[in-house]
Chains A and B, each alone.
Chain A
């Protein structure tokens, strides 16, 4: 009895879906243009939240206290939300990762704490405690990743280490005392304050640069980008999504941590915010697919999308894309904090299963994305897979 009752609405639904592509052809150039709008809005949000962090850091420096430190920590966590989503705009040599290496300056990890400040057992280590060395941003930038990518001197994770300190707490994040910033209590407190201010200001400056490069109606990267063939840009968009999804997020940020079961392999290891890094990366990838980005003020940037383009060629594939991408975000959201505890244990430990499931979902979505790229006639995707 139930079957016939369902048959009619189902058919109607299929008919509607099949009819929609014919109604309005999707223009690749419009998809690319909407992408540029989303990239700009996302970097602008990252900038807004970084400026809020800057204000909080200035508050901490002016008056170090338990409260002002906590305000700065909360501001850092809030700043990571939009930034994590921008990572879908990497991996094709755009302003974030061209020869200037702004990405390396902003978001390098893992980080050798002893390169910046004292660590357990080494009270005199780091640039902060080398009182003879001058502290200025030019020097810190030059020192960033000097002698190896972990010699990180700048960016979000340098700030994170200064706000939280090393994480020896299995149940939560690191807990640096605010007294590290108080003269007469923390060793080289003046230099620590100065260092924190320098690197925070640089994050703001770098995000200001990135937002500027994607601003509409200016002589910048965006204007050059939009002059390129829409198909070439489509390839860049897909490359960024696919590499973040597979090699970076599923691979380096999760598989490595799962294999090693080592806290050093988690992205935001001082603040225990890695679970949010993962969710925001997955969201960022989905934003590009759907051509839709929810801004920090709650407004939405929305327009023609890659999914629409795929739907024109193959409706079922477009639906599969949406399903897979939603599944990845959901799987990522199920991972619990702290991530360093989530990865520990036997194969069937619930945390490890949640991380594994997210890796599986990301691989699946990458596979579907590669199929979609083929459907769109893009053959030379660097994450191309054997047929």
Chain B
């Protein structure tokens, strides 16, 4: 009985998908298809493509945006200093400013050989959960590995990264090589780590369109969740529920590689605290673990180190950074790639389109049709990508579907084409090939495409 019922449901779902798909005319772009951010969309393709305010923002608000931009770029200095508005770096830190990792508001790449990472950070934990359901911090080094420190404080250590080439072939004979990373913590400043330490590498993401993602109604996100895979399409999709330091309660997670952050305000203040060592109203203390005496004793830059007004302008800035328009939406190759993207079921998780709700105080972002290509849900991505470290309700194989808007502009903005949570993929094709778990069918579809179709799919992704 039950089985029949679900068979009917899934048949209807498949039918719905097919009829939905046939409504798209693959020979020409949809109306406004290039406007990834709706009316907020900007039209630059150069190095500043990720650094512009929402196109529909008026000039007075642009001045507020500029103040936020200045704080995003501003380097924090060690306390005490004559410049009181900007002292309080560390004691431990990763970068001195937001832009240190999010260069040009864009995507970071793994470090070059022989260099220490900056835009690639490492979360640490041991099995178990903290009071809010968060991962239990590693007892000596805390929840994050900080490889830099101010004068008089020890850095937590160094990170050694090596890549093992994994050569393979497409069925048509074309060769490719994936890079499998290995990470090791060395020169540890405070002694050995816990024997059951779990870690997760996370690359700094592009900062564009975050306010729009925040404006997608929660019910729309949850309507796509299918934790038991009831539609039997092999794709589940789970919501993460995480601690919100601003509202002091559990909320739906939307941001970060594991959807472990609930809002732009939490993300911004949390990163300022964890990555630069800046305290603010909702993150009043830096993470100094009990045995890190030098960290406790280091001078501080005030209580808090960034005031509410400046934090608010930083949050406003990160909420309103615009998404650039797509390029070449009418190119036959790109249109063919779009069709393949849908046929290979990539769109099951990389959901192309959403409509934002009304956002108090942010009319620019309200009621916009946006095209981020994400469902903001968690999916099992297979063993190859697994970090084996749970994060709130995400397990060690799950990752949040990252938005794809802007991915074709990393080269222009940041001068590289590194993808995935730790930047291991050297181009879009390698990123697809790493997909496993729930995305295995889509990955297999790509693998088996003739070269001309593979190129079309990549051309489509690079047009985003």
Provided the pairs A93-B45, A148-B95, A148-B96 are in contact, do residues A112 and B75 lie with their beta carbons within 8 angstroms? yes
Stretch from B66-74, B164-172, B174-182, B231-239 at the A interface: B66-74
User: Which B residue's beta carbon lies closest to that of A97?
Assistant: B47
CB A325 to nearest CB in B, in angstroms, measures 16
Distance in Å: Cβ of A126 to nearest Cβ of chain B: 13
B55 partner residues in chain A, CB cutoff 8 A: 382-384
Between A93, A251, A260, A363, the greatest number of chain B beta carbons within 10 A of the residue's beta carbon is seen for A251
In the complex, are the beta carbons of B82 and A150 less than 8 A apart? no
Distance between Cα atoms of A385 and B118 in the complex (Å): 36
List the B side residues contacting A256 at CB < 8 Å.
66-67, 70
Distance, CA A383 to CA B41, complexed state (A): 10
* Size bracket, chain A contacts: 35 or more
B458 to chain A, nearest CB (A): 21
Q: Which of B39, B74, B100 contacts A110 (CB 8 A)?
A: B74
Whether, in the assembled complex, A359 has its beta carbon less than 8 Å from a beta carbon of chain B, the answer is yes
Is A247 an interface position by the 8 A CB rule? Answer: yes
Chain A 376-387 interface mask (CB, 8 Å, partner B; 1/0): 000011111110
Taking the nearest CB of chain A, how far is it from the CB of B71, in angstroms? 8
A120 neighbours in B (Cβ, 8 Å): 82
Q: Which of B46, B53, B60, B73 contacts A92 (CB 8 A)?
A: B46
Would you call A148 and B75 a contact (CB within 8 A)?
yes
B184 at the interface (CB under 8 A from A): no
Question: B56 on the interface (CB 8 Å rule)?
Answer: yes
Q: Determine if A147 is an interface residue (Cβ-Cβ < 8 Å).
A: yes
Judged by DSSP, the binding face of A is loop
User: Which residues of chain B are near A114, meaning CB under 8 Å?
Assistant: 77
Q: How many whole Å from B256's CB to the nearest CB in chain A?
A: 22
Residues of B within 8 A of A386 (CB): 39, 56, 58
Residues 10-67 of B at the A interface (beta carbon under 8 Å): 39, 42-48, 52-53, 55-60, 62-63, 65-67
Cβ B62 vs Cβ A246 within 8 A: yes
Task: Find residues 313-340 in chain B having any chain A CB closer than 8 Å to their own CB.
Answer: 322, 325
Partner of A97, one of B46, B59, B70: B46
Bound: A234/B42 CA distance, A? 17
- Nearest Cβ on chain B to A378's Cβ, whole angstroms: 10
- Interface pair A151/B62, CB less than 8 Å apart: no
Is residue B415 within 8 Å, beta carbon to beta carbon, of the partner chain?
A: yes
Complex Cα distance, B63 from A250, in Å, reads 7
Q: Are A147 and B100 in contact (CB under 8 A)?
A: yes
A359: which B residues are within 8 A, CB to CB?
A: 63
B95 CB contact (under 8 Å) in A147, A250, A259, A385: A147
**B205 on interface, CB distance cutoff 8 Å:** no
The one of B44, B65, B412 that contacts A239, using a Cβ cutoff of 8 Å: B44
Check if A264 sits within 8 Å of B86, measured CB to CB: yes
Q: What is the size, in residues, of chain B's interface with A at 8 Å between Cβ atoms? A: 42
A243–B58 alpha-carbon span in the complex (Å): 13
Q: Is B85 an interface residue (CB 8 A)?
A: yes
Q: Which residues of the other chain, A, contact B62 by a CB distance below 8 angstroms? A: 246-247, 251
The answer to whether residues A147 and B96 also contact, given A247-B53, A382-B52, A386-B58 and a CB cut-off of 8 A, is: yes
- A251-B48 contact given A363-B59, A366-B59, A367-B59, CB 8 Å threshold: no
Interface positions, chain B 77-136, Cβ under 8 Å from A, are 77, 82-83, 85-86, 95-97, 99-100, 118
Minimal Cβ-Cβ distance residue in B for A251: B66
* Residues of A close to B411: CB separation below 8 A: 99
**Shortest distance from the beta carbon of B328 to any chain A beta carbon, whole Å:** 15
Contact of A148 with B48 at beta-carbon distance under 8 Å, contacts A246-B59, A363-B59 already known: no
A149 touches B67 (CB 8 A): no
Determine the residue in chain A with the shortest Cβ distance to B77.
A112
- A contact residues around B43 at 8 Å (CB): 380-382
Instruction: State which residues 322-362 of A face B: CB under 8 Å.
Output: 359
* B59/A147 in contact, CB under 8 A: no
Chain A residue numbers with a CB within 8 Å of B73 are: 148-150
Contact partner of B96 among A101, A150, A384, CB < 8 A? A150
Does A28 sit within 8 A of B, measured CB to CB? Answer: no
Name the distance in Å between B313's Cβ and chain A's nearest Cβ: 8
- B70: chain A residues at CB < 8 Å are 252, 256, 265
Residues of B within 8 A of A89 (CB): none
Looking at the assembled complex, report how far the CB atom of A352 sits from the nearest CB atom of chain B, in whole angstroms: 15
Q: Which residues of B contact A255 (CB under 8 A)?
A: 63, 66-67
Q: Determine the distance from Cα of A114 to Cα of B85 in the docked complex, in whole angstroms.
A: 17
Contacts of A381 in B (CB 8 A): 43
Q: A262 in the interface, Cβ–Cβ < 8 Å?
A: yes
Is residue A91 contacting chain B, with contact meaning CB distance below 8 A? Answer: yes
- What residue in chain A is nearest B324 (Cβ atoms)? A382
A98 an interface residue at 8 Å Cβ cutoff? yes
Residue in A closest to B363 when the chains form the complex, CB atoms: A386
0/1 interface trace, chain A 147-175, chain B, CB 8 Å (1 if under): 11111000000000000000000000000
In contact, A251 and B45 (Cβ under 8 angstroms) = no
Residues from chain B with a CB closer than 8 A to the CB of A259 are: 67
Q: Which residue in chain B gives the minimum CB-CB distance to A92?
A: B46
Nearest CB in chain A: distance from B53 CB, A: 7
Cβ–Cβ < 8 Å partners of B322 in chain A? 382
B100 touches A148 (CB 8 A): yes
Per the bound structure, the CA–CA distance linking A110 and B86 in Å amounts to: 12
Please give me the residue from chain A that is nearest to B80 by CB atom: A121
Contact between chains at A252 and B66 (CB < 8 Å)? yes
**Contact of A99 (CB < 8 Å), options: B47, B59, B118:** B47
Q: With A and B bound together, what is the CA distance between A150 and B97 in angstroms?
A: 9
A367 and B63 CA atoms in complex are apart in Å by 13
Q: Does B63 lie within 8 Å of A99, measured CB to CB? A: no
- Which residues of A sit under 8 angstroms from B67, Cβ to Cβ? 251, 255-256, 259
Chain A residues near B63 (CB, 8 Å)?
250-251, 255, 359, 363
A151 to B97, CA, bound (A): 10
Find out whether the CB atom of B59 lies under 8 angstroms from the CB atom of A385: yes
7 more contacts with CB within 8 A, not counting A99-B411, A251-B62, A382-B42, are A97-B48, A99-B47, A148-B97, A150-B96, A247-B52, A255-B63, A363-B63
A-B contact pairs, 5 of them (CB 8 A): A91-B46, A251-B69, A252-B66, A255-B66, A256-B70
The 6 A-B pairs of least Cβ separation, nearest first, read A251-B66, A93-B46, A150-B75, A148-B100, A148-B97, A380-B43
Chain A interface residues (CB < 8 Å from chain B):
91-93, 97-99, 101, 110, 112, 114, 120, 147-151, 239, 243, 246-247, 250-252, 255-256, 259-260, 262, 264-265, 359, 363, 366-367, 380-386
